[in-house]
Amino acid sequence: MQMTSRQEELIERGVRALERMAEDPVIQVETGPPVCPHCEKINPTVRVEETTATGALGEFIIQAHCTHCNHVFYAVPYQWAVSKTVSEAGQILKEKTEMTNVNEG
């Protein structure tokens, strides 16, 4: 079977697009569930103290105290969902929880 020049062009464009996507650091970032690195409890209840520190949002680190094992650990968010209001933030969390429940079920 011979390919037409149009088919060859489309395949070449597709390959170039895939190569560009593979180079995108956002796509290469693998994230996992929120797990305490000490007790390995998934999505543990934590206590976070308020701070007056300032810095770039993209460099934000969370110091959390796991109430399950009583250890401190540090969380580095890879992806952000931001909102203008608390209710919008709550809706984002609700949708995220619903998606997680669908994927697990």
Q: Please write the tens of the pLDDT for every residue from 28-51.
A: 556 678 899 999 999 999 999 888
Gap between the Cα atoms of 58 and 76, Å rounded: 9
| Torsion 11-12-17-20 (CA) sign | positive
Residues comprising the chain, all counted: 105
Indicate the pairing of strand 62-66 with strand 72-75.
Answer: antiparallel
Query: How many angstroms separate the Cα of 53 from the Cα of each of 60, 62, 85?
Result: 10, 11, 22
pTM score, two decimals?
0.60
* Higher-scoring residue by pLDDT: 92, 28: 92
The tens digit of pLDDT for each residue in 10-28 reads: 788 878 877 777 776 565 5
pLDDT of 103 higher than 60: no
